[in-house]
A and B are shown apart, each in its own frame.
Chain A
Amino acid sequence: MSKCSSSLLATNVHILTFILFAVAKNQGCVFSMVTQKTMLDLEFRSWLLNQPEGETLLRCYQCGRCTSACPVAEIEPSFNPRLFLQKILIGDNSIAEEQLVWNCLTCEQCEVRCPEHVKIPHILILAKVRGLKSGNVPLAALDRARTILSEGRSLPVSSPMLKTSAKMGRPDLGTPAMDQIVAMLADIGIVGKLENVKSVYGGAEDE
């Protein structure tokens, strides 16, 4: 994947994740830490470092300010941004294999407080991308992807919503670049996956 499309994808995953946390909570997902001994496998780490802004990871000196700043960590003790960084740093790719990282709200509180300007939310997004690539993705996220695939957006927009938006004087949402989005999702194998997985809602959301 080219660096450019990865960055674009990251932006979309950003939208994806935005609501995911709440969804996952509602579903009563069990978050647990997978502990395992790993041999040194730096493939994931090298991949991440080569992504745009991925190399900011190296600046981390594990002060833990991100975790103490994180609003998710405040309610979900197992969600620990610093620990994610630590694992990636030492070549443990488990965070890409588990779904805990999907809890990130990308609120960027961690990045604001990071003394070394590590792009933490971005790195977590890259970890999600990695999870997506290897097929490890929460079902709820797949539903979101389904919506994106059909609507071009993570949330379907109804005509009353558009009207309200216009009344408020907000700019027109425009038409999503469907071709590009579909190509990207196909690139990381989401399209194929969607065909094999049933929606947790039994179909696209329909509010």
Chain B
Amino acid sequence: MKKLILCTCNKTLTKWLDFARIEKEVGSTFESIHIHDALCLEEGLTFLDAEVSKDDTVVIGACTSQIIGVPLAERLKSELVSYVPLREHVAWVHKDDQKGATNKALVLLNDAAIHVDFLEPQTAVDIEMEKKVLIVGGGIAGLKVASDLLQLGIEVTLLEPPEFNSKDYLEKNQFMADSSTLKGVVKDLKTTSKGVKKVCGTISKLSGRAGLYSVSLKRDNGKEEEILVGAIIIATNSEHSPPSIAKMCHYGKTNQTLLLSELSTLIAKQTAKESKTIFVTQDPSYHDSSVAGSYLLREVTYAAEKGNTVIVAHSDIHTKDENLYRAARKSGVIFIRGSLEKVSKKKKGLVCRLENTLESQVREFTVDYLVLQTQLKPWSGTRPLADTLGLNLDREGFIKTRYAKMKPVQTSKRGIFIAGNAKTPMNLNDALASASNASLEVFKNLIADGERKGWIPVVDEELCDLCDACVEACPNDALRHEGDLIKHIPMNCEFCGICVSACPTRAIEFQSHSKDSWLTRIESIATKHKKLEGQKPFSLVYACSECANASIDQAGFAGKGYPTGSYVIQFPCAGMVSPIEILKGLVVGAEKIIVAHCPPGGCHHQTGDHLSELVVKFTQDMLKSIGQDPSRVKATYMIAALPNKMQEEVAHRG
């Protein structure tokens, strides 16, 4: 039976919506209609328990599904439910227009009634996991992950690329902390990670899926080997690389110029009497991280405390520990704010010339050594590794995280994580935290025993011409071209539907969200609107179900009202919207179509924000070429922190 259950939210929605009229006008669409006053309270839930049976399809008109959806779903016996957020999307934003609001409610309820007809039960996904982990890189973060996971009883293999030379390993990592702390931590880690299986070699191929990856290893001894792992953690290091001014500083041409990473060795060899003048310079073209800044401060302090005269040419001193800077100044290091202009080799030493910007004066110093602050670059093997594993890199070539704010160890690929310096240069403390964070994510993934369900894409073999557009578009590697088929890998899938809009032959159908369903729904909204509102213009908002939908909910909470005649259609991801849905909207008479997505770079499925912008741009070009007004179509981001966004977008219609 198709049932409609409405909630008046403590009888308050009756102020803005005419429930009697709603009951009367949608009566024919549903087989039963119930109006409850507080669906979210225990009495409401008990009512739902009794009222809804397994075979019913249900439309719930209440507050936003974002709030009641999950708790309600636990009590609803039927999976086939469509929510209409009557409170946040209608009543609270159209407070001065009862008739219009009721009309809008009617249109949306009618739309939901059609929506439930298209709903299918979600598909359960095989979540079998290989409870083994592969760690790439046996540095501090790698050892930490190994030690964490061993303690939790997870089998770990540590892969060390052959370029990883463990001899000068501590020296190279000196930038992470002072040497005694570093030595102590490494000693501890070596003890706690004892028993880890170590392999020397590189990854040559990756297949399988998240939770069940098959990794081909090319061992040092030339042997090929294949291992099955549930997750991979990249814990590669940063490397010191000469700065852009290296050539100007005669680096490599004279042994008077050296890198910062070589300074401590030089100082350690010094006898008490050999006081030298050492000029240390930052790379003026390079934005320093606090790690690099702290490293520089520690090294120059050490040099100065050994009786050398140390001059530092710097821009902004960046450190997390102000006391390091204090200690450096106290040790007598001379700080000059300016960038090195010229270095000339003279008999008495190197003559370093720069403008001290804090006195607007050019200064020259004749020094015994010129020390260059290194750039901390990703490990040289990062790019080939990322290519093999299918990971994205950031601007500097480090492995890119899935989402900068909240996903510090997740990569663009499910089941592959990063720890420590693989992400960005880190100090010891942060690297250890990052490693444990990765261990936690892996552990949680591997012990997951709940079910994973979702609506998945289904490829029509007849229509598919194997162009690979979907394979390219899928941000999660959930579609692969294997033989004569496009194969779907459900464990990788995030149920976003981006593949649907990418497919040029429209060969992919998404469960519950078929192409037909969108077109039918768009058409029915227009028909119903025209029936109730006549010639009044209307606009359609194709909103993603994450940020954009939340922004529209918040418009309700924050009291940012907007005109009626604005209908929100929820897509799993804005990336699922194709030009066809947009054009359909225009054809049925919508005045404006807004595709609302997550903020730039913030799509929950990684690329939906970008793709929807592209799709809209494409549609606009198409409209322009046929002499239509392209401004009727727009892509924009909506976030909950901007609850006024909906108001702005639909306020200026006409």
The residues of A with any CB-CB pair to B shorter than 8 Å are: 35, 37-40, 42, 49, 58-62, 82-83, 86-87, 89-91, 116
Q: How distant is the Cα of A137 from the Cα of B330 in the complex, in angstroms?
A: 31
Q: Is there contact, CB below 8 Å, between A59 and B330?
A: yes
Chain A residues with Cβ under 8 A from B130's Cβ? none
- Choose one: B326, B334, B364; the contact of A89 (CB below 8 Å): B334
Task: State whether the Cβ of B366 lies closer than 8 Å to any Cβ in chain A.
Answer: yes
Q: Is there contact, CB below 8 Å, between A62 and B358?
A: yes
Q: Is there contact, CB below 8 Å, between B332 and A58?
A: yes
Q: How distant is the Cα of A60 from the Cα of B358 in the complex, in angstroms?
A: 13
Q: Is there contact, CB below 8 Å, between A86 and B359?
A: yes
Q: Is there contact, CB below 8 Å, between B336 and A58?
A: no
User: Shortest CB–CB separation between residue B326 and chain A, in angstroms?
Assistant: 7
User: Shortest CB–CB separation between residue A114 and chain B, in angstroms?
Assistant: 14
Task: State whether the Cβ of B365 lies closer than 8 Å to any Cβ in chain A.
Answer: yes
A39-B365 contact given A62-B358, A86-B359, CB 8 Å threshold: yes
Chain B residues with Cβ under 8 A from A35's Cβ? 361
Chain A residues with Cβ under 8 A from B524's Cβ? none
Chain A residues with Cβ under 8 A from B329's Cβ? 58-61
User: Shortest CB–CB separation between residue A179 and chain B, in angstroms?
Assistant: 38
Chain A residues with Cβ under 8 A from B326's Cβ? 59, 116
User: Shortest CB–CB separation between residue B311 and chain A, in angstroms?
Assistant: 8
Q: Could you list 24 A-B pairs, sorted by A, with CB under 8 Å?
A: A37-B364, A39-B366, A40-B277, A40-B309, A40-B311, A40-B366, A42-B309, A58-B329, A58-B330, A58-B332, A59-B326, A60-B329, A61-B317, A62-B337, A62-B358, A83-B358, A86-B358, A87-B359, A89-B334, A89-B335, A90-B311, A90-B356, A90-B363, A91-B334
Task: State whether the Cβ of B325 lies closer than 8 Å to any Cβ in chain A.
Answer: yes
Q: How distant is the Cα of A58 from the Cα of B329 in the complex, in angstroms?
A: 6
Q: How distant is the Cα of A180 from the Cα of B68 in the complex, in angstroms?
A: 89
Q: Is there contact, CB below 8 Å, between B364 and A90?
A: no
Restricting to B324-350, which residues have a CB under 8 Å from any CB of A? Answer: 325-326, 329-330, 332, 334-337
A40-B365 contact given A58-B332, A59-B329, CB 8 Å threshold: yes
Restricting to B360-396, which residues have a CB under 8 Å from any CB of A? Answer: 361-366
Chain B residues with Cβ under 8 A from A38's Cβ? 363
Q: Which residue of A lies closest to B366 (CB)?
A: A39
Q: How distant is the Cα of A116 from the Cα of B322 in the complex, in angstroms?
A: 12
Q: How distant is the Cα of A116 from the Cα of B330 in the complex, in angstroms?
A: 12
Chain B residues with Cβ under 8 A from A91's Cβ? 334
Q: How distant is the Cα of A50 from the Cα of B362 in the complex, in angstroms?
A: 28
Q: Which residue of B lies closest to A35 (CB)?
A: B361
Told that A83-B358, A83-B359 touch, could you supply 4 new A-B pairs with CB distance under 8 A?
Answer: A35-B361, A37-B364, A89-B334, A91-B334
Q: How distant is the Cα of A35 from the Cα of B329 in the complex, in angstroms?
A: 25
User: Shortest CB–CB separation between residue A90 and chain B, in angstroms?
Assistant: 6
Chain A residues with Cβ under 8 A from B317's Cβ? 61
Q: Is there contact, CB below 8 Å, between B363 and A37?
A: yes
Q: Is there contact, CB below 8 Å, between B366 and A90?
A: no
Restricting to B217-232, which residues have a CB under 8 Å from any CB of A? Answer: none
Top-9 shortest CB links A-B: A58-B329, A86-B358, A40-B365, A58-B330, A86-B359, A62-B358, A90-B334, A83-B359, A35-B361
Chain B residues with Cβ under 8 A from A40's Cβ? 277, 309, 311, 365-366
- Choose one: A39, A61, A89; the contact of B325 (CB below 8 Å): A61
Chain A residues with Cβ under 8 A from B332's Cβ? 49, 58
Q: How distant is the Cα of A42 from the Cα of B311 in the complex, in angstroms?
A: 12
User: Shortest CB–CB separation between residue B317 and chain A, in angstroms?
Assistant: 8
User: Shortest CB–CB separation between residue B321 and chain A, in angstroms?
Assistant: 14
Q: How distant is the Cα of A38 from the Cα of B336 in the complex, in angstroms?
A: 14
Q: How distant is the Cα of A83 from the Cα of B337 in the complex, in angstroms?
A: 13
Q: Which residue of B lies closest to A49 (CB)?
A: B332
Chain B residues with Cβ under 8 A from A61's Cβ? 317, 325, 329, 335
Q: How distant is the Cα of A39 from the Cα of B337 in the complex, in angstroms?
A: 17
Restricting to B266-315, which residues have a CB under 8 Å from any CB of A? Answer: 277, 309, 311
The residue in A40, A59, A61 that gathers the most chain B C-beta atoms within 10 A of its C-beta is A40
The residue in B337, B358, B366 that gathers the most chain A C-beta atoms within 10 A of its C-beta is B358
Q: How distant is the Cα of A42 from the Cα of B332 in the complex, in angstroms?
A: 11
Chain B residues with Cβ under 8 A from A60's Cβ? 329
Q: How distant is the Cα of A90 from the Cα of B336 in the complex, in angstroms?
A: 8
Q: How distant is the Cα of A185 from the Cα of B329 in the complex, in angstroms?
A: 34
User: Shortest CB–CB separation between residue A154 and chain B, in angstroms?
Assistant: 32
User: Shortest CB–CB separation between residue A169 and chain B, in angstroms?
Assistant: 47
User: Shortest CB–CB separation between residue A89 and chain B, in angstroms?
Assistant: 6
Chain B residues with Cβ under 8 A from A82's Cβ? 358
User: Shortest CB–CB separation between residue A190 and chain B, in angstroms?
Assistant: 31
Q: Which residue of A lies closest to B362 (CB)?
A: A37
Q: How distant is the Cα of A39 from the Cα of B359 in the complex, in angstroms?
A: 16
User: Shortest CB–CB separation between residue B431 and chain A, in angstroms?
Assistant: 28
Q: Which residue of B lies closest to A40 (CB)?
A: B365
User: Shortest CB–CB separation between residue B529 and chain A, in angstroms?
Assistant: 63
Chain A residues with Cβ under 8 A from B363's Cβ? 37-38, 90
User: Shortest CB–CB separation between residue B303 and chain A, in angstroms?
Assistant: 15
Q: How distant is the Cα of A185 from the Cα of B330 in the complex, in angstroms?
A: 33
Q: Which residue of B lies closest to A80 (CB)?
A: B359
Q: Which residue of A lies closest to B331 (CB)?
A: A58
User: Shortest CB–CB separation between residue B249 and chain A, in angstroms?
Assistant: 18
The residue in A35, A59, A90 that gathers the most chain B C-beta atoms within 10 A of its C-beta is A90
Chain B residues with Cβ under 8 A from A83's Cβ? 358-359
User: Shortest CB–CB separation between residue A81 and chain B, in angstroms?
Assistant: 13
Chain A residues with Cβ under 8 A from B311's Cβ? 40, 90
Q: Which residue of A lies closest to B332 (CB)?
A: A58
Q: How distant is the Cα of A165 from the Cα of B325 in the complex, in angstroms?
A: 51
Chain A residues with Cβ under 8 A from B337's Cβ? 62
Q: How distant is the Cα of A35 from the Cα of B277 in the complex, in angstroms?
A: 24
Q: Which residue of A lies closest to B334 (CB)?
A: A90
Q: How distant is the Cα of A62 from the Cα of B356 in the complex, in angstroms?
A: 12
Q: Which residue of B lies closest to A36 (CB)?
A: B361
User: Shortest CB–CB separation between residue B351 and chain A, in angstroms?
Assistant: 10
Q: How distant is the Cα of A89 from the Cα of B330 in the complex, in angstroms?
A: 12
Q: Which residue of B lies closest to A60 (CB)?
A: B329
Q: How distant is the Cα of A87 from the Cα of B317 in the complex, in angstroms?
A: 19
User: Shortest CB–CB separation between residue B417 and chain A, in angstroms?
Assistant: 40
Q: Which residue of B lies closest to A82 (CB)?
A: B358
Q: How distant is the Cα of A61 from the Cα of B336 in the complex, in angstroms?
A: 10
User: Shortest CB–CB separation between residue B109 and chain A, in angstroms?
Assistant: 64
Q: How distant is the Cα of A90 from the Cα of B358 in the complex, in angstroms?
A: 11
User: Shortest CB–CB separation between residue B168 and chain A, in angstroms?
Assistant: 33
Q: How distant is the Cα of A90 from the Cα of B329 in the complex, in angstroms?
A: 12
Chain B residues with Cβ under 8 A from A86's Cβ? 356, 358-359
Question: Per-position contact with A for B118-141: 1 when CB-CB < 8 Å, else 0?
Answer: 000000000000000000000000
